[in-house]
Structure 1
Amino acid sequence: MAEKLILINERKNWDEAVNYCRKHYHDLVSITNLEQQELVQEKAKNASTFHIWLGLRYSCALDLWFWVNDQLVCYENWADDTDTGDCQCSLILCQGYKYYFIKEPKTWEEAQRYCREGYKDLATVPNMTHMKTLYTDSTENQGNAWIGLYSISGKENRRWHWSLPGVEFNDKDVKWSGNEPNDKAGYLENCVVIDSSGGLLDIGCSNGYSFICYNEKLILINERKNWDEAVNYCRKHHRDLVSITNLEQQELVQEKAKNASTPHIWLGLRYSCALDLWFWVNDQLVCYENWADDTDTGDCNLAVAMETRGEHKWFKKNDAEMFSFICSLS
């Protein structure tokens, strides 16, 4: 597509831009995926104006945005600007975990509350790879800092839990410092900090430490549920069952799916017999697809599950089957 684009450094309104492109070239540019977005924004760096016109316009009559090339609006990259209510409006071009080190000392519960209000939660660190990332990203952190690991009992039958619901703690996936956890001097130490070496220490929860919050787009829930139960769980604890509307999202979801405890995971895509169509729970159009070549059963109680191994294709499954699932967090 790179050779198929040309930047016109002439100031025109949107209609003039469309007419110019159709007279001299093909059409005003449309962007339907991330790759095209990156190519267009590279060209836009040499523009003589603060913005460039795209081939996307709003129709009051239909109450929708449309590309001039008649493609569906699947890929989006909107700024958080205010809807003006103007019918003559056209568009201008204006993964994983992210950790945030908060220097202000707080108790563990105060830190948890702070992170849940401004981010997703206190840092969840599912394996040592993320543990190293956590400390590398938190370059300001020269001492101990709270993470989202805690225990609700004493030494007997102690179990550790992550602050974020649905994430199981596996002792083999983290590194404790020295003889930790040890309830030093006989006092219960039910909360955890990460130290300067990336190891974990159990500490009394009422102590004041800096802390680390994090944001994440997706969370894998390794609990077997049918499709309706998975939707209800995601909406109660997070946001919704995951929707996939482009290749980038597919790659993020399939990476998460590799750690699932079931051969498939539920996606937020379900069939409506009444409308004879598939729909995402987030009301997005089904633009991107990754179907397996399975046979249509004619069953109206169908939802979509992704295989957790192989090519991560999508399969039509009876919605009463029991699988792990992925929730979206934002």
Structure 2
Amino acid sequence: MSCGMFIVLVLSGLRCSAFSLHVRQYYFIDEARTWPNAQKYCRRHYTDLATVNDVQDLEILADLTGSEENASFVGLHKSWTWSFSDYGDYHEGERAYWNWASKQPDHSNCGIVESTGKWASTSCKRKMNFICYNASETNILRRFVLVSDSSMTWLDAHAYCKEKFTDLARVENQQENKELETMLSGNAAWLGLRRQSWMWSDGSQPSFLPWKYHQDSKDYCGALDFGHGFHGLMKMNCDKIASFFCHSDPQRRHLVQLKLATKGSPVPRDPAVAASVMNQIQRGLEEKGASKDVKLSWRSFSKEETKQESAKELKKCV
């Protein structure tokens, strides 16, 4: 068995969002879509729905439309999250487990699991049973505790679970959801789901929200309105169809040096073998949280070239 070194080039999007670098490219898509479908389109063809960091970004988007017609979606929205986030939150639209019933969630702000195992949103002030999560329990199926006390609102149930256990229940897969379903005995119960504050589709928190005017509405997606000579954000129904803005981030290159132990040549020569190795690396990166748009490629370096390329990488913004 022999060992060999090879280099994998990893291309991914640059996301330095602490301040606006104005290196993003923005695109106006003059097609009417709902906010979720616009998000899918932008993620498929670019990077994401547009994020607006400052006045300059706002002006760039205004110049792209060339008109003062209807408002256009951007990446601003209110999504659902879990009160317990031991491993970092995942959000709706990402690769995670969601089990909403048909036409759910609606405009309410707290989440329940129904007797069918499906989830629904409802008023946080309702009173019902709830399910707590006990992270100290080693048997994962015993981590859920049904509390049969129908006198508690979502906030009351959350406080109770935080005091007695770990938090309200967080469900991460179908097996866990099935366990909850068997516990309910025909009654719905609170989960740790709650609609959070405004955020951008790329996961960043807003630091610049130029609302055009006050709206006391239950619309949870954001759009830019360029009418009447004043640019600003407005709330819009996520199911309404409208044009939208996408953005793309410049790619950056990471050099990842790996060591392979093989019975033959240390560098795969057979294209089929090389493709198989790359697929395994790709799956491993995705399991660690890398997005599916990360691109991998082979490149052979001499020892001197490896040192030079590594030195270049250290000089870049990471």
Q: TM exceeds 0.5?
A: no
Which structure has more relative contact order (CA 8 Å, sep 6+)? It is 2
Q: TM-score, normalised by structure 1?
A: 0.37
Q: TM-score, normalised by structure 2?
A: 0.39
